[in-house]
Amino acid sequence: MSKIIDLAEYRDVTPKQDEVRLPEDGFMGLGLSLSGESASADDLVKAHKWFSLAAMRGSRQARVHRLEVSARMDGDQIARAQSELHAFASERLSA
């Protein structure tokens, strides 16, 4: 089953329009470092998680990167990334 992702609404996103502050910058950096062309399946899962965290903090660029990474993943990998995201958020972000 192929995925159809319309990135048209995100194509105009630039750093100037999407100023990201820490910890989003850290989350974005982690996602970018793990999502290169030669990324393993495990790296893509981790990158998806970090982009999701940055997106939760308001980064539009992270949403774009997460969509791009998602296109390279299967459903099980995305589910694993979401599970890791929820585990991380409940452990580290709840106060």
Mean pLDDT computed over every residue of the chain: 80
pLDDT of residue 66: 97
* pLDDT (0 to 100) of residue 11: 44
Which residues are CB-neighbours of 58 under 8 A, at least 6 positions away?
A: 20, 24
Q: 32 phi and psi, to 5 degrees?
A: -65, -40
pLDDT at 26: 86
> 12 or 26, which is more confident?
26
Is the pLDDT at 50 greater than 70, yes or no? yes
